[in-house]
Chain A
Amino acid sequence: MNEPTVHRWPIRCTVNGSVQHLLVEPRRTALDVLRDELGLTGAHAGCEHGVCGACTILFDGEPVRACLLFGVQLDGAAVTTVEGLAAADGTLHPLQESFSAHHGLQCGFCTPGMLLSALDLLAHNPIPTEAEVREGLGGNLCRCTGYQQLVDAVLDAARGGTYDCT
């Protein structure tokens, strides 16, 4: 069987506020491009087929699974990964502070995806009910099963401020 010749596509995208020019092989997912080309290993490669949510990023302000997007599709887009949440001096985002205060992370594997899903939830629904928080995090699996603390963290963060995805 003849393998197609590898042709790399030039792309330009903005990742966490900085403009990137890359050459990407079309079969590589956005997740692989972020992790391997840009060294942004915050978005985690969990299931790599769209089930676990550990690779959730914001793509033009909306949550997507980076493992179900191809890197070439980042062309022209603005992306936020978990690395884009904290301030440049390392000061944690209020949502991250809340996760820390409520033990909303144990092993930390699901945390980047949880944070971005939670941010998206609070940007659209500033005062969610507990049920709405559970639904908002429903696409993200926590293998430590620490859901109660995660829900507590998001509810408390909602009480403490307002959030947007831009």
Chain B
Amino acid sequence: MKPAPFHYERPTTVAEAVAALAGGDGEREVKLLAGGQSLVPLLALRLARPATLVDLNRVEELRGIEVSGDHVRIGALTRHEVLHTDATVRSRLPLLATAAGHIGHRAIRTRGTIGGSLAHADPAAELPTGCLALGAELEIAGPAGRRTIPVGTLFDGPLSTTLPADELIVAVRVPVDMGRRPFGFAELTRRAGDFALVVASVTIAVDADGGCRAATVAVGGVGGSARLIGPAARALIGTRLADGAVDAAVAEVDRAIRPFDDLHASAEYRRAMAALMVRRAIGAARGAR
């Protein structure tokens, strides 16, 4: 239960972190250490054995939460506990504040980070569905400079992302108007603080006459990656969110997901619970109109 030896680097700028990442190749893996709440267990169990660990915790540029124009910019090193309690996040992005409060326990939330959670890409984590439902974008830094990608293009199967090994997440940008939408968040866990068996995040936008103008439905824990279910959102759009529309959206979720069996739950149970969590999340969003 002790990590294997590794070379340790402690950059203080994003440029230094990118330079440290560039030292890796197929033989010598370089891993980024943010909150460490998922990575350090993998190191302790020696499921991960990187040659170099690049500790991001002294990179000031990765911190901070600010409203900038039409979006809220959240530094990748923002801790879950900050996301859960920060006044700007609670007022501007209450879905993310809610989702963050469901992560682990306080001693986990004080360390774990939003960038780390997204990069770890656990299909049952809370923040991926929240970021998907809010239409978040990621600021990425690498040797070729900066680029921005939709969060939906990040996830690539369990614990896998499309990010090349020489890039890192600098910040998460969430559109302010998405944060204003009525939302619902629902998850099923065996015990408080566990990873979710199934997790769902929903947003809706409603016209003055009560018609649903836009919606997003994201689910996790029922396949390799957290994902948006476009057909479920479309089943809500243009309706008045009556029970029949909710039934139709839930049916689309059922059609779209490929849940798996594991130690914690059967695929059949996950499928049934995905329907229930999405129904609850839509219900909460509908109630918050």
Given A4-B7, A6-B5, A49-B44, answer yes or no on A68-B111 (Cβ-Cβ < 8 Å): yes
Q: Which of A25, A26, A50 contacts B41 (CB 8 A)?
A: A50
A53 CA to B37 CA, complexed, in Å: 13
Given A64-B111, A73-B57, answer yes or no on A138-B3 (Cβ-Cβ < 8 Å): no
A43 CA to B8 CA, complexed, in Å: 25
Check B4–A27 contact: CB distance below 8 A. Answer: yes
Check B105–A138 contact: CB distance below 8 A. Answer: yes
Check B106–A117 contact: CB distance below 8 A. Answer: yes
Check B193–A9 contact: CB distance below 8 A. Answer: no
B263 within 8 A of A: no
A164 within 8 A of B: no
Check B44–A67 contact: CB distance below 8 A. Answer: yes
A52 CB to closest chain B CB (Å) equals 11
Hey, what's the 0/1 contact readout for B50-79 against A, CB within 8 Å counting as 1? 011101010000000000000000000000
A69 CA to B105 CA, complexed, in Å: 16
Chain A residue numbers with a CB within 8 Å of B140 are none
Hey, what's the 0/1 contact readout for A50-90 against B, CB within 8 Å counting as 1? 10010010010011110111101100000000000000000
B92 CB to closest chain A CB (Å) equals 23
Q: Which of A32, A53, A69 contacts B111 (CB 8 A)?
A: A69
Q: Which of B8, B40, B57, B104 contacts A67 (CB 8 A)?
A: B40
Chain B residue numbers with a CB within 8 Å of A42 are none
Q: CB within 8 Å of B: which residues of A?
A: 3-4, 6-7, 9, 25-29, 32, 48-50, 53, 56, 59, 62-65, 67-70, 72-73, 117, 120-121, 135-136, 138-139
